[in-house]
């Protein structure tokens, strides 16, 4: 059971075709972008990627071409590409599509990136729960090896690249890039302070590029059609199409491909058919569970990295969670808070202790045991986690708490002992 309602276009392809079949992929022009890349020099590929205004699809939205530019050209050590397929931010389910249904564009993106940056080894780090997806990607990699599309002298270019799948083992934190690299090295997935950034000192202490699955899927499109073509599909500084995963209380949940800048309200009401059972919209978490929540009045905005910032939230992974009346928002926030408490790696005190405190206070509020003072304490805990941890998990835990309390105070105060 794997239902997708797709506005099929360039990222999400015709679901009636088996894209895990290499012949089908090549008949549709597969690996032409790789051939074209081999006729370009490295700087041209990086510049074309910069021109495309492609911003990382893993959530942070950092310009991909700029990130590639940080990797030293000359290096005595080997360089690595590590693909982040540790999809785990609640509300996010886009990368599973390529891993499961259409892995070849990802492999092409890896080859082009590796060629441009002088990398000969790629690891695709796939979350452990994706057992079927791991098998599918491994099978596709093997098909590529047999067809001379991976391994030595790819397509007669003289360029060598090996590609391996590495399984995660059930830790959300390994989606954080430095934690992912530690996990790839066989260690506990605990984030590291930056600098040094992975581009300089990453996997096995060598220069490493970490890119999200969807980011790399965009690369063959950019090489084939040009950076300008890709940039023109989106808005200013937000290039390209983007896959949105809509879940929760909409009539047609699923994956949708839109150009960046699509109106968020249209996504929910037009494309996803509106609210389930025609209930009233209560709240929208726009980009995965860490992104500050929006009220129904705030969703008439273009969906891109910069526009979401203006309303105090983030595009994140574009995992849109739609919440209708009469859902108790304390229950939603409690699940988010429990998630981050469970997934905190335990390294930084504010996150390890603070996330647990936030859960316990929320539980007390829901049980009707808390007073107004404890709402203040909850806010205080969130504020003291934010910005005080090695990685962004602390922030990700704090932002939902702060935004839910600020935008929906009645949803919490109604449980208080001293409620007015």
Contact residues for other proteins, defined by CB under 8 A: 1-4, 78, 87-93, 95-96, 127-132, 162, 164, 166-172, 183-189, 204, 245-249, 253-255, 285, 289, 319, 321-323, 327, 331-332, 335-336, 339, 342-343, 345
The least distance separating other proteins from the CB of residue 359, rounded to whole angstroms, comes to 14
The least distance separating other proteins from the CB of residue 38, rounded to whole angstroms, comes to 25
The least distance separating other proteins from the CB of residue 400, rounded to whole angstroms, comes to 10
Q: Considering beta carbons, is residue 122 or 211 the nearer one to other proteins? A: 122
The least distance separating other proteins from the CB of residue 390, rounded to whole angstroms, comes to 16
Q: How far is CA 213 from CA 28, 99, 206, 311, 378, in A?
A: 20, 8, 21, 27, 36
Q: Considering beta carbons, is residue 205 or 373 the nearer one to other proteins? A: 205
Length of the chain: 420
Q: Considering beta carbons, is residue 3 or 28 the nearer one to other proteins? A: 3
Q: Considering beta carbons, is residue 7 or 40 the nearer one to other proteins? A: 7
Q: How far is CA 76 from CA 159, 178, 208, 407, in A?
A: 18, 22, 13, 53
Q: Considering beta carbons, is residue 198 or 319 the nearer one to other proteins? A: 319
**Cα distance between residue 115 and residue 110, in whole Å:** 8
For residue 254, what are the β-bridge partners? 246
Q: Considering beta carbons, is residue 188 or 419 the nearer one to other proteins? A: 188
The least distance separating other proteins from the CB of residue 295, rounded to whole angstroms, comes to 17
CB 94 within 8 A of CB 87: yes
In sequence order, the 6+-apart residues with CB closer than 8 A to the CB of 165 are 123, 124, 126, 134, 137, 138, 141
For residue 163, what are the β-bridge partners? 122
Q: Considering beta carbons, is residue 111 or 332 the nearer one to other proteins? A: 332
Q: Considering beta carbons, is residue 33 or 255 the nearer one to other proteins? A: 255
Q: How far is CA 65 from CA 128, 155, 175, 246, in A?
A: 29, 25, 21, 28
CB 189 within 8 A of CB 171: yes
CB 66 within 8 A of CB 46: no
In sequence order, the 6+-apart residues with CB closer than 8 A to the CB of 402 are 292, 379, 382, 383, 386
**Cα distance between residue 84 and residue 64, in whole Å:** 14
The least distance separating other proteins from the CB of residue 43, rounded to whole angstroms, comes to 28
Secondary structure of residue 289 in the 3-state scheme: coil
Please tell me what DSSP assigns to residue 49: H
The least distance separating other proteins from the CB of residue 81, rounded to whole angstroms, comes to 14
**Cα distance between residue 214 and residue 106, in whole Å:** 8
The least distance separating other proteins from the CB of residue 96, rounded to whole angstroms, comes to 5
The least distance separating other proteins from the CB of residue 20, rounded to whole angstroms, comes to 17
Secondary structure of residue 181 in the 3-state scheme: helix
Q: Considering beta carbons, is residue 25 or 57 the nearer one to other proteins? A: 57
């Amino acid at each position: 059971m794997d239902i997708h309602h797709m506005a099929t276009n360039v990222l999400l392809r015709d679901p009636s075709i088996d894209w895990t079949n290499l012949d089908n992929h090549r008949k549709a022009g597969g690996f032409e972008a790789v051939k074209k890349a081999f006729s370009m020099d490295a700087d041209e590929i990086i510049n074309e990627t910069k021109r495309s205004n492609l911003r990382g699809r893993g959530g942070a939205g950092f310009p991909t071409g700029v990130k590639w530019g940080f990797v030293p050209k000359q290096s005595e050590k080997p360089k690595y590409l590590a693909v982040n397929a540790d999809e785990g931010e609640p509300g996010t389910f886009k990368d599973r599509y390529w891993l499961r249904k259409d892995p070849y564009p990802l492999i092409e993106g890896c080859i082009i990136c590796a060629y441009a940056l002088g990398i000969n080894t790629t690891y695709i780090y796939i979350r452990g729960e994706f057992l079927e997806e791991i098998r599918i990607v491994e099978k596709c990699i093997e098909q590529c090896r047999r067809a001379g599309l991976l391994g030595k002298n790819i397509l007669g270019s003289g360029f060598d690249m090996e590609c391996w799948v590495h399984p995660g083992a059930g830790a959300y934190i390994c989606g954080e890039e430095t934690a992912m690299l530690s996990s790839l090295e066989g260690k506990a997935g605990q984030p590291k302070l930056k600098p040094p950034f992975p581009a300089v000192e990453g996997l096995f202490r060598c220069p490493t590029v970490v890119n999200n699955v969807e980011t790399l899927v965009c690369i063959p499109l950019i090489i084939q059609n040009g950076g300008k073509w890709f940039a023109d599909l989106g808005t200013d500084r937000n290039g390209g199409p983007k896959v949105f995963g809509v879940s929760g209380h909409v009539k047609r949940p699923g994956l949708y491909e839109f150009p960046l800048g699509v109106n968020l309200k249209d996504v929910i009401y037009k494309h996803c058919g509106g609210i389930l059972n025609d209930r009233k919209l209560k709240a929208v978490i726009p980009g995965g569970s860490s992104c500050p929540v929006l009220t129904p009045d705030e969703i008439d905005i273009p969906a891109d990295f910069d526009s979401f910032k203006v309303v105090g939230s983030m595009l994140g992974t574009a995992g849109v969670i739609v919440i209708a009346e009469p859902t108790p928002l304390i229950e939603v926030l409690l699940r988010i808070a429990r998630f981050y408490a469970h997934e905190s790696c335990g390294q930084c005190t504010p996150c390890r202790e603070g996330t647990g405190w936030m859960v316990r206070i929320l539980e007390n509020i829901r049980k009707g045991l808390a007073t107004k003072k404890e709402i203040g304490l909850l806010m205080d805990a969130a504020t003291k986690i934010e910005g005080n941890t090695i990685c962004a998990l602390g922030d990700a835990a704090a932002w939902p708490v702060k935004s839910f309390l600020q935008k929906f105070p009645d949803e919490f105060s109604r449980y208080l002992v001293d409620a007015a």
